[in-house]
Structure 1
Amino acid sequence: MRDADATRARILAAAKKEFAKRGLGGARVDEIADRAKANKRMIYHYFGNKEDLFRIVVEEAYVDIRTAEQTLELEHLPAREALEKLVRFTWDYYLKNPEFITLVNSENLHKARHLKKSEKIEQLFRRFVDMVGDLLDRGVEEGVFRPGIDPVQLNITIAAIGYYYITNRFTGSIVFQRDLMAPEALQERLEFNIETIMRLVCVSP
């Protein structure tokens, strides 16, 4: 059983790299097998076909970020501090896990047809939205957040202000004539993201 789990983990890690690099269409099962030190028969045995493997990789990418968010223990912090910590975490996660962004981009190209088949995603995101909703409610009770903010819209905004910057870092560096990935530029952007969200949510930023 341990050998089977280890093999499955190696295949998933190899598939994540291959799909992130080449997308679903360009990824090759042979390359995944070589990376995982497995064979194609084992991949098909554990995961079915290439489409199923891609779906599981995308699922696991979302599981990873949502699991990491749970370790923040935001419920134990004052609401403003918790929200700032969430914004910082999201930004740092995107920077440290570029494969997450490329996998999400790839699935969007396929109009989320793989996630539509997922049994994990709805429950996973319901728990996350509830966490953000509880944070907002706590902030209203503390008198620091405005009432009536939709936790889904807030999450989309937090994701968007980091996601767009990173996915457009190459073209943006040319268009705006600055190195968007320089350490000082990344820190400036993080501070801007935090200020933006606080001005959106707080009674008095």
Structure 2
Amino acid sequence: MSTPVSTSRTKSRDGTSRVQDPEGTKQNIIEVAAQEFALNGLSGARIDEIAAKTRSSKRMIYYYFGSKEGLYVSALENAYRQVREGEAKLDIEGLPPLDALKRLVEFTFDHHHQHEEFIRMVMIENIHHGEFLERSGVIRDLNVTAIGSIEAIYAKGLADGVFRAGLDPLEIHWQISALCFFNVSNRATFSKIFGKDVGSPAYQESLRRQTVDMVIRFVVKADELGGV
């Protein structure tokens, strides 16, 4: 049984009762802050703006997160948590390894397409050479599961004689991430340079199929490709 979030009631200036939800308030601040950081970067995001959009105060934000950098780390942790929680809900343990890998790639492509702020925050963190991510044990712990899932799928595929030997699960994760990440990070420049809207539904559906196909062809044994 989950523990209910502690709430309290206070009186507003007009005398009406208002529910205080600290955890809900913190989550709202994190979600709004993620949009601000994604749009303006760490240096350009303003606590005043975040406070205004969350109907909180700078004092409350600093109370919860300590500093703008502390809020940024919390937003980064939340972004990675959403990815890993989504993967955990896929329920792929009982699937054949090929189907499990396909579903994982499809989820990653869809998640990144639907959460551009995640891609932008990762790009910003790379500009900072991973300085703030390195401070977070939470992010390191969260991402252990990403490699663990691929290790399990790959081991099962090897045992079934479907996947080729000698691959590193971390490198498989890298290739999946690279294809799905680039689809968002370089969409605007590709569209402008080549005069094609690669973000259109038709283009995205085509790229999604190709991404799955490329990953599968990288992992599957050559003599199994005919059945893919």
TM range (shorter): over 0.9
1:74 aligns to what SS in structure 2? coil
Contact 2:113 2:183 in 1 (8 A): no
2:121 aligns with 103
Contact 2:73 2:136 in 1 (8 A): yes
1:60 aligns with 78
Q: C-alpha displacement at 1:59, in angstroms?
A: 1.0
1:185 aligns with 203
1:112 aligns with 130
Give the alignment partner of residue 43 of structure 2, picking from 17, 25, 29.
25
Q: C-alpha displacement at 1:18, in angstroms?
A: 1.0
Q: Are 2:122 and 1:92 aligned?
A: no
AA in 1 matched with 2:121: L
TM-score, with length taken from structure 1:
0.96
Q: C-alpha displacement at 1:48, in angstroms?
A: 0.3
Tell me how far apart the structure 2 counterparts of residues 13 and 162 of structure 1 sit (CA, whole Å): 22
Tell me how far apart the structure 1 counterparts of residues 122 and 91 of structure 2 sit (CA, whole Å): 25
TM-score, with length taken from structure 2:
0.87
Q: C-alpha displacement at 1:127, in angstroms?
A: 2.1
Q: Percent identity of the aligned residues?
A: 36
Q: C-alpha displacement at 1:177, in angstroms?
A: 3.1
2:185 aligns with 167
| Unpaired runs of at least 5, structure 2 | 1-5, 8-20
| Unpaired runs of at least 5, structure 1 | none
Tell me how far apart the structure 1 counterparts of residues 31 and 195 of structure 2 sit (CA, whole Å): 36
Equivalent residues, number: 205
Tell me how far apart the structure 1 counterparts of residues 189 and 35 of structure 2 sit (CA, whole Å): 23
Q: CA RMSD in A?
A: 1.1
Q: Deviations over 1:61-113 (max 9, x none)?
A: 00110111010111111100000001100110011111100111111111111
Larger Rg belongs to: 2
Contact 1:91 1:162 in 2 (8 A): yes
2:163 aligns to what SS in structure 1? coil
Tell me how far apart the structure 1 counterparts of residues 146 and 211 of structure 2 sit (CA, whole Å): 20
Q: C-alpha displacement at 1:35, in angstroms?
A: 0.9
AA in 2 matched with 1:29: I
Q: Are 2:153 and 1:141 aligned?
A: no
Tell me how far apart the structure 2 counterparts of residues 13 and 121 of structure 1 sit (CA, whole Å): 17
Whose helix proportion is higher, 1 or 2?
1
Contact 1:13 1:36 in 2 (8 A): no
